[in-house]
Structure formats: C-alpha cells, structure tokens
Amino acid sequence: QLYRQEKLPLLSGDRAKLAETHLDLFTTAWGENFEIANLSESHVARFVAGRRSGALAPPLKGREPAGVRDGTIDGDFRWLRSVFNFARRHRVSGRPAIPSNPLEDLAWPKEKNPQKPIASHERYTRTQGHTDAVDPKGRLRCILALARLTGRRESAICGLRAGSVRPTC
C-alpha cells in the first residue's frame, strides 16, 4: 500500500504500468493482506513455480499466458527488492516502514549465461585456409586472426578504424 500511495504517482507512465504489473503479480501470488515479515523460501518457490508454468502471468491481449525463464523471474525479484528498499528508507512516524529487506536471505533463480562457444584450433586453421578464396585482399584473414588472438567479436573488429586504437602501455 505504501508503495502505491507514495512512489507510484511519481513514476512516468511506462514505469508506473510496469510497477502495477509487478504489484499485481506478487499480490496474486501471495494475497492482498500478505505480511512481508512472513516472507519465506516457500513463498518464493511458489511464485517461481507459477511464473515458470505460466499460471502466474500478467493479462495478455488475446494470447495465452506462457511460462517465463529465470532472467524474467530474476527481474521480478530485483524489482521487489527495490520496493522493499524503498520501504526500508521511508519513514512512518519517524521509523522505517520495515526494519530490513526480507529478500536479503532468500534465493531465487538467476539467469545463467552460457559461455560463448570457442572454435577449435583445427577449425581456425581450416577457415584461415579458405580466406584467400573469399577475400583476396586479406581483410578476412586479418579479422579472423584478431578475433582469435584478442577474443573480440568480428563485428567489433570490423568497426575498428585507424585512429580508434590507443596504446595501453
């Protein structure tokens, strides 16, 4: 309630709409009169299960609700953590609205970023063997070598210009 009264009116249109969506999701999951002091791992697990299955989703215009992945769930809880931090800093009768953030000791899924695939040395040498047929001027050979030796993306290497590189030593 405090967030709806104090913070929500100060948000821009899109941010307010996003905040309303988040508030509705957590209220649907835990109830209108849920006391945040009682927040536990089981509440988090129920929310996560509902979001993953699609049973807990914002209303979609003409589409069936679908489950979401860990990155979205992480975003939901990071938003909720910011609301709790707001309440912790907000004073009611001279005291913080809540003494501490109840999410501090709770865990929720985080998105796992898989490592980029790394080409083997054999693949690199085979590709280098065909570069002259594709690009007789040798630019592709240079790009592949820079990518292999620096770990930079080919698109970043292609964007390099003569004056854009500064020595680091």
Which percentage of the chain shows pLDDT scores above 70?
93
pLDDT 10s digits, 22-79: 999 999 999 988 988 899 999 999 999 999 999 999 877 777 778 899 999 999 999 9
Residues constituting the chain: 169
Q: Which DSSP string do the residues of 99-115 spell out, in sequence order?
A: SS-TTTT--------PP
How many Cα neighbours within 13 Å face the side chain of 43?
Answer: 18
Closest among 148, 143, 144 to 160, alpha carbons compared:
143
CA separation for the pair 23, 17 (Å, rounded): 10
CA separation for the pair 37, 98 (Å, rounded): 8
| Residue 75 backbone dihedrals phi, psi, to 5 degrees | -60, -40
pLDDT 10s digits, 83-95: 999 989 888 888 8
